[in-house]
Amino acid sequence: MDDKTKTELEAATFRRLVAHLQERTDVQNIDLMNLAGFCRNCLSRWYREAAAEQGITVPDPAAREIVYGMPYDEWKAKHQAEAKPEQKAAFDKQHRL
């Protein structure tokens, strides 16, 4: 497989992952962090970092809007629930390592 095709497939995969996460608003970021070690905010940070490597500045709010499909504050107001004590405990345990 040539590099151009590989890049196109990776980009399509990223877009599909982002679309999936935008549809699955029931899945909280803390759940993603506890199960997979990354969340929507991580994806937006990785996006910003990749842009910076290319000499492109993408402000954090813009990167988050790409991943969330709306302004972050709007997403939080519509979809983010307070983390349950067991979710917080799992997060704390995982991040004490």
The per-residue DSSP string of 7-20 comes to: HHHHHHHHHHHHHH
The set of residues, in sequence order, having a beta carbon less than 8 Å from that of 9 and lying 6+ positions away, is 1
Q: How many domains are contained in the chain?
A: 1
Name the 3-class secondary structure at 92.
helix
Strands (E), the chain: none
18-22, 47-51, 88-92: least confident range: 88-92
Q: What pTM does this model have?
A: 0.87
Domain residue limits at 19:
3-95
CATH number of 63's domain? 1.10.3340.10
Give the model's pLDDT for residue 95: 78
The tokens of 55 are what? 């000499």
H/E stretch holding 94 reads helix 85-95
Give the model's pLDDT for residue 57: 98
Give the model's pLDDT for residue 97: 58
* pLDDT digits 0-9 by tens, 3-30: 999 999 999 999 999 999 999 999 999 9
